[in-house]
Amino acid sequence: MTKSRGFTEADVPDQSGKCFIVTGANTGIGFEAAHVLAARGARVLLACRDRDKAKAAMARIRTAIPRADLVFLPLDLGDLDSIRHAAGLATAEPRIDALVNNAGVMNPPLMRTKQGFELQFGVNHLGTFALTSLLLPKLAETQGARIVTTSSLAHRGAQIDWDDLNAERSYSRVGRYGASKLANALFFYELDRRLRASGSTILSVGCHPGIASTDLARHLWPVQVLIRVTGMVLNNAAMGAWPTLQAATGPVQPGGYYGPIGFRGTRGVSGEAARSDEAQDPVLAKRLWDASVAMTGIDPGLVPAS
In degrees, to the nearest 5, what angle opens at C-alpha 182 toward C-alphas 138 and 176?
Answer: 115
Compute the distance between CA of residue 132 and CA of residue 203 in angstroms, rounded to an integer.
Answer: 12
User: What positions carry a catalytic annotation?
Assistant: 177
Compute the distance between CA of residue 21 and CA of residue 23 in angstroms, rounded to an integer.
Answer: 6
CA atoms within 13 A on the CB side of 7: 26
- Contact of 136 with 99, CB cutoff 8 Å: no
In degrees, to the nearest 5, what angle opens at C-alpha 277 toward C-alphas 281 and 191?
Answer: 40
One-letter amino acid at 37 equals L
